[in-house]
Each structure stands twice: as C-alpha cells, then as structure tokens.
C-alpha cells in the first residue's frame, strides 16, 4: 500500500519530516517499508498571482494585456487565455521559470 506522509500526518503526529527517520521508526514498530518515493514538481518558479486588470491587445485579437501582482509592483503580461477576469488568482511563471518539456 502506498501512503503519503501528508496523509499519514492527518492521523498521527510525526516526529520528523525526514522520510528515512520515519522509515526507521515504522520498521522499529514492526511495519515493513518497502520503499520511499520522493515526488517533486517538474517545474520551478511558478507562483500565484492576482489579476489586477485585463485589456484588449491593441495589435492582436487572440491575446489580451493583463496586469498581475504577486504581492509587489504590477507586472504586465500578454496572455492568450480567456477564462478569467480581474480579481482572479492565476498561476504565473516568473522570468527564468522551468516548466515541463
């Protein structure tokens, strides 16, 4: 059976967040741990941003100009998505972000 540490911590107080220490603690209690898989996101530099303003692009019909903020100064973004308006929380890939593929 596969069990995530996040799920396990909903039911018991874990003494640590180190998977190897938890594996040892479970083994000392007689529970076999067959393996540990570390799941990490395939991207970096993606944050939540709030859409401040959305305007039509002056030179294109299929994209819009958006102003977003991640808590600081507004950031100008050209976006092809049409499924949100001002006030929405969206994912924003900061310059230098790494995305899958």
- pLDDT, tens digit, for every residue of 90-101? 999 999 999 987
Q: Record the pTM.
A: 0.61
- Whether 4 has a pLDDT exceeding 90, the answer reads no
Rounded distance between C-alpha atoms, residue 80 and residue 85, angstroms:
13
CB-based burial label for 92 (10 Å; 0-12, 13-18, 19+): buried
Rounded distance between C-alpha atoms, residue 96 and residue 70, angstroms:
16
Taking residue 68's Cβ as centre, other Cβ atoms within 10 Å add up to 22
Confidence of residue 70 (pLDDT cuts 50, 70, 90): very high
Beta bridge partners of 53: 67
Rounded distance between C-alpha atoms, residue 31 and residue 24, angstroms:
9
In order of 12, 20, 99, the CA distances from 38 in angstroms are: 20, 11, 19
């Amino acid at each position: 059976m596969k069990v995530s540490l996040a799920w396990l911590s909903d039911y018991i107080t874990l003494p640590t967040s180190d998977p190897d220490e938890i594996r040892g603690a479970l083994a000392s209690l007689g529970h076999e741990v067959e393996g540990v898989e570390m799941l990490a996101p395939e991207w970096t530099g993606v944050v939540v941003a709030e859409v401040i303003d959305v305007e039509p692009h002056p030179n294109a019909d299929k994209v819009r100009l958006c102003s977003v903020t991640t808590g600081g100064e507004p950031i100008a973004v050209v976006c092809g998505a049409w499924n949100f308006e001002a006030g929405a929380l969206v994912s924003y890939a900061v310059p230098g972000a790494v995305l899958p593929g």
